[in-house]
Amino acid sequence: LAVHTTSTTEEVIRVYIRNTDGHFLGYQRRPGAWHQVFDSLVYGSGLGNPTELPTEKFTTVKIEAQTVRAFYVTMVSTGTMVYSVSNDSVGSVFMSNADMQLLVGSGLGKNFRWIDGSR
């Protein structure tokens, strides 16, 4: 797994990922409803280059067939996370394959402070 950031190798950034059962709607401002599955310091690879996240720092997340899981990815240091903006509505399919669908979500401010449209 990788994230995209404007940060470069001179800047250490803290990335963490949380998840929750089901859809994220109704949980955007409830940090206690989310479970941490990743927390690590990494060096950013800069704009346009994926910043790889160390797999050994992840807690395994099992996703059963026909279920939904929401993920919250954020950086808590310098730099800016770069992510896709979608013109589709929240909950619509952003991309999929035979095994999984990735749905349009929202950008949430650091520590669940604000909500920013379809992402």
Mean pLDDT by 10 residues, the chain (119 residues): 81 86 70 87 88 93 89 75 76 89 74 54
Other C-beta atoms closer than 10 Å to the C-beta of 106 total: 16
Q: 85 with 71: CB under 8 angstroms?
A: no
pLDDT value at residue 107: 67
Instruction: Determine the Cα–Cα distance for residues 118 and 112; give it in Å rounded to an integer.
Output: 15
- For residue 57, the model assigns a pLDDT of 94
The answer to whether the CB of 114 falls within 8 A of the CB of 106 is no
Dist. CA 103–CA 70, nearest whole Å = 9
Strands 69-75 and 101-103: what pairing?
A: unpaired
What's the pLDDT at 94?
87
Instruction: Give the model's pLDDT for residue 114.
Output: 47
Burial class (CB in 10 A: 0-12, 13-18, 19+), 43: middle
